[in-house]
Structure 1
Amino acid sequence: MVRSYLTNEGFKVDPVFTGKEAINRFISNSYDLVLLDLMLPEINGMDFLQTLRQNSFVPVIITSAKDGEADKALGLGFGADDYITKPFSMIELLARVKAAIRRSTQYKESTQPEVPAILTIHEIEMDIHNFIVKKNGQEMSLTSKEWNILKLFFENPKKVMTKEQIYHSVWDDHYYGDDHVINVHISRLREKIEDDPTKPEYVKTVWGIGYKLGEFK
């Protein structure tokens, strides 16, 4: 049903039915978006997502009957960009697919030559053109959302970013006051870039407002 609907809307859809098949297909083909069911045979959706995120920033939308906060947080923490709970309408799915692809396209367009090739703050270096992040020379693996959040702070080093500004800039969508998604991604980003995530130096919390990049001498 999903394949038929999206095909009628002009998308080319390549369905696979096991996690192992999905990994093999992704290695040999290029895709603009992944719709991921968590309950896959052979290799489950979470394991596939972790494998995918080792080498790709492609947008991932999880479609799952699991609607608990822990499941959503886990999926987003592992690198998904969005999470839609079954049953869902085809109209809502289409809107989310278009939004995810639009954000990904704008993300790629934002890395044109006029943007500095290398952004460096203290021990972290971001290679904008090649999507590489290093800390003390060691490459780190970030999801597309984590990359965009960190890039936003690096491009605005002295500015306090409200959660509304972060959500609008990174998710390209209206912010309705639900900060759970932002908090999950900030937490996961800190786990990767901070020496001590409980005492963050790079992404500082400004209580009651949002976040800012830490200041280094």
Structure 2
Amino acid sequence: MSDSTSQRTALIVEDDPDIRDLLATTLRMNGFLIIEAASGLDGLAALKEHKPDLITLDLNLPDLDGVEVCRQCRAVSDAYIVMVTARQDEIDRLIGLEIGADDFIGKPFSPRELSARVSAMFRRPRTGTVNSSPEGNEVLRHNNLTMDVEGRVVTLDGQELALTRIEFDLLETLLTGAQRVWTREALLNRVWGDGWSQDHHLVEVHIRNLRKKLGEDMSNPGFIRTVRGVGYRMMPGDSAR
């Protein structure tokens, strides 16, 4: 990502010139320097050259599939990624793919909504994942699960888990408030930021993906308990900081 003292850069990967212009205008009004690409290959090349802070990525590109472009972006970049799709029903599929995108928005979209979502993401800056755990980092434990908060590393029985950023932030929230029942709205506000209080399905899908990576048996969960009609909490266990 760009240095925090410099202007933020947004890479727009979109083959429709009208949508590309609307995205560019909206993000430029939010203070971004704009880089545009009309294909997946051009987008990947621009990513390597400009190292943007934000990427908006069309799902249906003329060369590479947007999902594949997202995977390749995430492999080399910690930029925030917003997937853009013309079909609302594609959003559920995208969320379930665990491709590393931070948000999904459907066409046609409101410039105001896009601005609000981008602002919410950047109000919660994140650090990139590192493999080391320097002495003094905060470590959270729950039975055989360990989280290095600053290093953003989670291990289960000593094996590192490949969590997405959203999954990590959800798990950190649950662990730091292990005795608390977190409502879906509270998790949305904590992990996604303001303006997401009605998107409960986002929480449910990401919790489901997180449970799979934790090896959860839904009939006998070991870590995350669903409190029916309310939200989620950690199962009873040995927790430490």
Write the mapping of 1:89-168 to structure 2, written as runs, cut at 5 A: 89-103=110-124, 105=125, 107-108=126-127, 116-168=137-189
Q: Which deviations, in whole Å up to 9, do the C-alpha atoms of 1:69-125 show, x marking residues without a partner?
A: xx112222323332221122323322222222223x2x45xxxx9x95222222222
2:71 counterpart residue number: 50
Match of 1:74 among 83, 86, 93: 93
2:85 counterpart residue number: 64
Match of 1:207 among 223, 228, 233: 228
Distance 2:139 2:76 in 1: 20
Structure 2: gaps of 5 or more residues: 1-20, 128-133
1:181 counterpart residue number: 202
In structure 2, the CA distance between the partners of 1:155 and 1:47, relative to structure 1 (3 Å rule), is same
Distance 1:153 1:55 in 2: 29
Write the mapping of 1:15-34 to structure 2, written as runs, cut at 5 A: 15-27=36-48, 29-34=50-55
- Matching residue's letter, 1:164: E
Amino-acid identity (%): 32
In structure 2, the CA distance between the partners of 1:201 and 1:85, relative to structure 1 (3 Å rule), is same
Structure 1: gaps of 5 or more residues: none
2:211 counterpart residue number: 190
In structure 2, the CA distance between the partners of 1:160 and 1:8, relative to structure 1 (3 Å rule), is closer
Offset at residue 19 of structure 1 (A): 2.6
Q: Which deviations, in whole Å up to 9, do the C-alpha atoms of 1:101-153 show, x marking residues without a partner?
A: 223x2x45xxxx9x952222222222211222222222222121111100001
Number of aligned pairs? Answer: 208
Q: Which deviations, in whole Å up to 9, do the C-alpha atoms of 1:136-185 show, x marking residues without a partner?
A: 22222212111110000111112111112111111112454442111111
Distance 1:215 1:140 in 2: 21
Is the contact between residue 178 and residue 234 of structure 2 (CA under 8 Å) also seen in structure 1?
yes
Q: RMSD across aligned C-alpha pairs, in angstroms? A: 2.6
Q: Which deviations, in whole Å up to 9, do the C-alpha atoms of 1:35-94 show, x marking residues without a partner?
A: 1110123321112223444565532211110111xx112222323332221122323322
In structure 2, the CA distance between the partners of 1:139 and 1:64, relative to structure 1 (3 Å rule), is same
Match of 1:11 among 29, 32, 51: 32
Deviates most, 154-163 or 56-65: 56-65
Is the contact between residue 216 and residue 223 of structure 2 (CA under 8 Å) also seen in structure 1?
no
Larger radius of gyration: 2
Offset at residue 25 of structure 1 (A): 4.1
Distance 1:116 1:157 in 2: 19
In structure 2, the CA distance between the partners of 1:26 and 1:175, relative to structure 1 (3 Å rule), is closer
Distance 1:142 1:129 in 2: 15
**What TM-score results when the alignment is normalised by the length of structure 2?**
0.75
Is the contact between residue 54 and residue 141 of structure 1 (CA under 8 Å) also seen in structure 2?
no
Distance 1:132 1:17 in 2: 36
